[in-house]
Amino acid sequence: MLCTLSCLLFSQSLYAEDASVEYKIKVGYLFNFTKFVSWLDDRSESFNLCLLGDEPFGGLIDPIEQKSVLGRPIKLFRLGSFFDPKKQPHCHILFVSSSIMETLIVQDIENTLVVGEGVGFIAQGGMISFVNKLGKIKLQINLKTLSKSGLKISAKLLEVAEIIKDDNNE
């Protein structure tokens, strides 16, 4: 299984012909981001993956809680449509679904990898966006917002992504 997930990260030709396959690929990416992004030290007992908005994964993401990152178990938090980093557990990864993207502008969330969907997500302050181009899931990465967050990203991840250097590029 780990080999399969690792292959997902390095394949640039992933086909997403139906929603189930598309979201299985996205779950694989979310897990693999944990291997290619470095977070500042924190005292969380778990590695927290938060889902904001209408959840597109269904049960496809649940098995991720059987894995661990940096010696800590992964814990899923389904936040619904409300996100307040001061009132909720620290999210190491915050996935913003397309259902809420238009009403959310992501700003200054420290030590959290903010991931979403669609070409407009980067312009709204997202760090990594899943973009479906010709039936293939591609990554767009905004280096500017990543650097503001305090996160460090591996060159290996940058190699498989389209780099967005300006918040207004799509």
| Measured distance CA(9)–CA(72) in Å, rounded | 22
Closest CA to 52 of 79, 29, 32: 79
Residue 150: per-residue pLDDT? 87
| Predicted TM-score (pTM) of this structure | 0.83
Tokens of 118: 């669609």
What class has domain 2-164? alpha beta
- pLDDT by 10-residue block (mean), the chain, 170 residues: 44 51 92 93 90 87 93 92 77 86 64 89 89 90 88 93 69
- Fill in the amino acid letter for 154: S
CA distance 12 to 14: 6
* Whether the Cβ atoms of residue 29 and residue 9 lie closer than 8 Å to each other: yes
Specify which residues 38 forms β-bridges with: 152
Q: Rounded to whole angstroms, how far apart are CA atoms 7 and 11?
A: 6
Where along the chain do its domains lie? 2-164
| pLDDT value of residue 88 | 78
